[in-house]
Structure 1
Amino acid sequence: MTALTDSPATTGRLRTVWRAAHAPVAGVPRWARIAAFAVPFTVLPSSLWRLPAAFDDGFPLGERVYIAFLSILSELVAFTAVGLVATWGERFPRWIPGLRGRRVPTSAAVIPAALGAVVLTVLWTAAFVTHFSGVTLRGEPIPANFPTQAGGWKAAIFYVCYLPLLLWGPLLATVTYAYHRRRRSR
């Protein structure tokens, strides 16, 4: 460890920032907080499952970068659900010129979140329905080297990592509903 990370002041500041980012807004129901914090955890297993491929020399560099980028981006997008229940989702950050400190309009959060919930629900449901039918979303046969084709532990691990994605859309929809209801009543 370095002196920087051992410093009580640094640890205290990080703890303060962490708490501020995750502090729920007054009036957020407990079920909405649980659903919001569950969203990133529904995405995490698939992100972690993909990451070893980013370090596999058998893939071209561009593909490895894409895989790592997809995993990180998925987590960042999933984490935005927390903004629907946390204080940082109520006001624009100070670093955004022209908007700093202003209240986020309800529709600016609800419309993208609702569209995201619909798209995610349709996408992951269709992905699994087609997969269990033996084809990809494009209608092509599933490749022979795909993990689920091998069966056994590879298939089991794949399903354990990817099945939670079926919850991403519905969880986001419930959090979006709670956000809309709470903000509309103000």
Structure 2
Amino acid sequence: MAVRTIWSTLHGRTAAGVPRWARLAAYAIPLVVLPSSLWRVAGFALHVPLLEFNPTPPAGQEELVSGWWYVLLLSVVSEAAAFLAVGLISEWGEVWPGWVPVLGGRRVPVMAAVVPAGLGALALSIFPYAMIMMSLGMRIDGGRPVGLVTHGWQTVLFHVMYWPLAAWSPLLALLTVHYYRRRTASQRTPGHGTLAPEDRPVRTAAQEV
């Protein structure tokens, strides 16, 4: 029950007109990011033997090897960024929450959500390519991997934990297109859903409780 309560608080109310497939896609994004975050924390911060380190890691990887704080921060930021996709199907993705200074209660401009989400989906499209290259035993630049090495079951587990990331970009792109179409269609239809004029604060169902 505690987990459900926390999730309900973070998620808020689903926006009007959101189909079931969009809700499932939004909920899936934090889940496809979670395995890789857990792998990093276990391997680098908790020193679980999920990989092996060369005695002299190449330049630029020293912090990754010894900086457990960096791994934790990267994992937390990744999950936070993934959770923002839930805003594309929730009321707080359409109306600024009341605790936001100045903007609280006002309508979120469509492009203020679509542009960063679209750019994010574009940037994340590197993951499918990166995973294919790593499955072939190469870095994304085509070179041979150095510094961090996996063998046998470690390699299998690495791919099991990291391949879900390949779904992040297409899921986010799909949700972004749906968000744009739903919001713009609602604005063209007076009285649809919970829309209100852009220059006037609005109250969501959650705020009225």
Q: Is TM-score (shorter-chain normalized) higher than 0.5?
A: yes
Compute the TM-score of the two structures, normalised by the length of structure 2. 0.73
Residue matched to 2:175:
175
Residue matched to 1:6:
none
Q: Tell me, yes or no, if the aligned pair for 1:120 and 1:168 is still in contact at 8 Å.
A: yes
CA distance in 1, matches of 2:74, 2:101: 28
CA distance in 2, matches of 1:15, 1:134: 43
**2:5 corresponds to 1:15:** yes
CA distance in 2, matches of 1:142, 1:17: 39
Change (3 A) 1:134 1:50: same
Residue matched to 1:4:
none
**2:132 corresponds to 1:129:** yes
Give 1:135 shift. 2.4
Compute the TM-score of the two structures, normalised by the length of structure 1. 0.81
**Which one-letter code corresponds to 1:135 in the other structure?**
M
Change (3 A) 1:144 1:67: closer
Matches within 5 A, 1:26-175: 26-52=16-42, 53-56=44-47, 63-121=67-125, 123-143=126-146, 145-147=148-150, 150=151, 152-175=152-175
Name structure 2 gaps, 5 residues minimum.
Answer: 54-61, 187-209
Give 1:90 shift. 1.3
Residue matched to 2:58:
none
Residue matched to 2:56:
none
**Which one-letter code corresponds to 2:130 in the other structure?**
A
CA distance in 1, matches of 2:139, 2:153: 21
CA distance in 2, matches of 1:145, 1:24: 42
Residue matched to 2:197:
none
Change (3 A) 1:144 1:21: closer
Q: How many residues align?
A: 170
**Which one-letter code corresponds to 1:32 in the other structure?**
A
Q: Tell me, yes or no, if the aligned pair for 1:134 and 1:141 is still in contact at 8 Å.
A: yes
Judge which range, 169-178 or 18-27, deviates more.
18-27
Name structure 1 gaps, 5 residues minimum.
Answer: 1-10
Q: Deviations over 1:135-184 (max 9, x none)?
A: 2124431126422xx1x211111111001001000001111111111101
CA distance in 1, matches of 2:77, 2:40: 12
SS at match of 2:16: coil
Overall identity of the aligned pairs, in % = 43
